[in-house]
Amino acid sequence: MKQLLRLWTLLAVGALLATCGNSDDDAASAYVTACGLDQSPVFSGTIASGEETASLRVVIEVAGKGSLGYTAALSGGDWISFSVRDFSDAGRQRSGSAAVGENLLFLYYKANNSAQSRSATLSITFDDGSAPRTFELTQLAANASDDPYITEKQWPELPEKTDNDNYIYAAHYGRMNLKTVRNYSLCFDKRLRLAHWVAYPLHTSYIGSLDRSEAWAADPKIPQQYQAALWLGSYQNGTIYNRGHQIPSKDRSSVEEMNRQTFYASNMTPQRARLNQQMWSALETKVRGYVCADTLYVVSGCHFADYDNETKDKAGNICPIPTSYFKVLLRTRSGQTGNRIADCTASELRSIGFWVANENGQTLDSNLCKSVEEIERLTGFTFFPEVDASVKRQCAPEEWGF
């Protein structure tokens, strides 16, 4: 994330909506993408002392012949504008004509001195009748951090933090119902090129009818040199090992931005192909069946009993193969208390764990079930640290449909 922040904080430079297109002999055409960055760019709103505003530079590249008219609009508040002098509604609208080649469109923003991040939407519509290009911009608060543990209150799904120089903790966010909400958090290991765990809330609001985005990409919050280059394709022996999601695509099928984030390389592990496509997929479906009016909290992860097996990505990087996978779940018994986990008694909560060998041909049955406490012993991580130990000792498969 530090690299991304440095890009965004270069005053009057910060180019982040790069464009890509194919030549058209008859007419001009323009394409706007995030080109390797998060579909929802996050930037620092800190402005140097003595300056009133800072700027971001949008690059519009037009291919073909002639020029192409466009209309750009900003929504989401009076802190960002196309005009350095006018932050009113009029300043958040801009029309123009883009010539073949690169065209610049500047955005100006004010410092965010509040304790909360804030977001705006940039929408660019071209006169060629194509669909608008829409980008969510999130401006961090002055003291914001990518570390999910540096928040005003800890999220219930977050495991206890483990201090390790090889671990990188990060969180991803998205826009839902006009608010910025968390998508998922992860504990990424630089040595292993994968995350030990991915933690996330699951609720009906996250589940919709979107298809998989297949937006394979590097995680913009993890230095790329530590990631498996899975945006180039699957592992070299992809018929044996798939790019296995830890947070499934279908668990984030209501908002395209959040679905795209599930295709980051940091969310993948080399998982046995038949396991990934059959039993593990069935387990993911079963977990979605536990969604209730209260939030279901999920941690999905992988484990190494040894490091004897490895594969490679398409760039030739060595990728150690996990020996096992796990999921741990926490929710209220009734599913409709309306209370935070911290305000629930132990008798109001239930938990379960699943432990799965990274092998093909397994069956989804109660033999996979373990207590959260047992999986803590196996992995060395502490899950759901704010709940009573008696909740984590539970292992009642029949309560979970087994």
Q: In this predicted model, what pLDDT tens digit does every residue of 241-297 receive, in sequence order?
A: 999 999 999 999 999 999 999 999 999 999 999 999 999 999 999 999 999 999 999
Is the model more confident about 357 or about 223? Answer: 357
For the chain, give every domain's residue range. Answer: 2-140, 167-400
Average pLDDT, the chain: 85
Q: Tell me what pLDDT residue 215 has.
A: 93
Architecture of domain 167-400: 3-Layer(aba) Sandwich (3.40)
Q: Tell me what pLDDT residue 74 has.
A: 93
- In the structure, what pLDDT confidence band is assigned to residue 315 with cuts at 50, 70 and 90? very high
Strand ranges for 115-273 from DSSP E: 118-126, 133-140, 167-176, 179-189, 194-202, 241-245, 268-272
Q: Tell me what pLDDT residue 104 has.
A: 82
Architecture of domain 2-140: Sandwich (2.60)
pLDDT in tens, 23-79: 334 566 654 443 223 344 556 565 655 667 877 777 787 888 888 899 999 998 889
Q: In the predicted model, is pLDDT for residue 205 greater than 90?
A: yes
Q: Helix (H) and strand (E) counts for the chain?
A: 6, 19
Distance CA 122, CA 134 (A): 6
